[in-house]
Structure 1
């Protein structure tokens, strides 16, 4: 039987994202095994028997050229869709918010998403205006549906590193989200403020925080995110810094990897909004 990235991740690997294999997540390791013929025994948590059995199956598909250089975004999306397949739309408003509506494609959940809305249907997720979402956006939305959380936010904020099982992804959060935000907006505090407001952020600067700018976003009704930003301080010798905070209930609603995907999307939206505003000025 052939082993896809999803099969390897779901049925063979421990799904702990421990990083012991040298990759940040189990699905990243699975992708390298399937597409780049990375040795399966690079995961130290698999028994020799499992490695032997799966290596034989992988050898057959390598020889056939099957699934080499897979599209990891597509694999992640298919896995998320599979996770959420058993969800009943009628049960979602009580869990994640939104209201049930009748769309052109049939019953759908109309769910607030940043400053707009999305429609979650039986077969797809789209913005209310009919435009599509990126695959990574769909990944964390489908995973949100499948996670099963019901708690409402408590208002207790935590840094990403304070949550369990985030060790392997802390560098990703810093390198792909927080550091790029600091670099993009240092010395451009006004640009950040305008961009944050433009995508629906609520200004909470000075409310129990010492940041030069602080904004609370609601990407999804039960998944708030707070951005703290400190601009350059030449007098004290501090460079610009950005920090994302999450409500303590976030892991009820998103798995760790989806939190990173959501954070990367927020960074992208802020940078795009700032670029668009600057383009209009010029």
Structure 2
């Protein structure tokens, strides 16, 4: 009865099934591994963030380039603030309140400038009254300590990448955004200070990119379920086709002929079986 499994048609079905199931299981396992990696990275980032709050500050040069390991670590740099190029970063939320960052460039002893987010103020960066609340940076040589952060991108959370900002404002905190605004080189990183002066509020450091339980992590989990469902669907369809074939063979052995759409026996052999004796003569 099961000789039909050796027909060319069923050879194709069987080969497809045998290949599709391992591929689906492999892809599902791979996506699950990606999700577990992001979970582990998120836990490590939380641990590192806790340790970074109490760890001693390290020289900036020893923490560059910024990675998932060094992001959030306390960095130390010495230089003087460039008061002529202080910038406001609009449309930044803190505790569900709208406001803006105050960013000042620190000209380090090495010549490069380090973007320093000195704090956050509520209000509108376009409002002269709100902008007037920004306290002046310290003068002279200073040593600044803060949490090291990777340069932002236009897709980073909270970033205003619409463009067309007025003079004195910055949408994306990155060396690429600052290179056309200042006449000197800028580090591909920035720091946020743990304390702020005046009415400013310190900006908490953000998690390193691709290290948290973000939308991508849960997409990996969703893809995991999809691939396992695909594997189950392949098995289900193979079993359904197999069962249908077996039932058709059993019906044929019992002389049961399936009817076509017009209610007549389906197929030329069945049609011959229904001929009258006179017609068969």
Q: TM-score under structure 2 normalisation?
A: 0.20
Q: Which one has a larger percent helix, Structure 1 or Structure 2?
A: 1
Considering Cα pairs closer than 8 Å and 6+ residues apart, tell me whether 1 or 2 has the greater RCO: 2
Structure showing greater radius of gyration is: 2
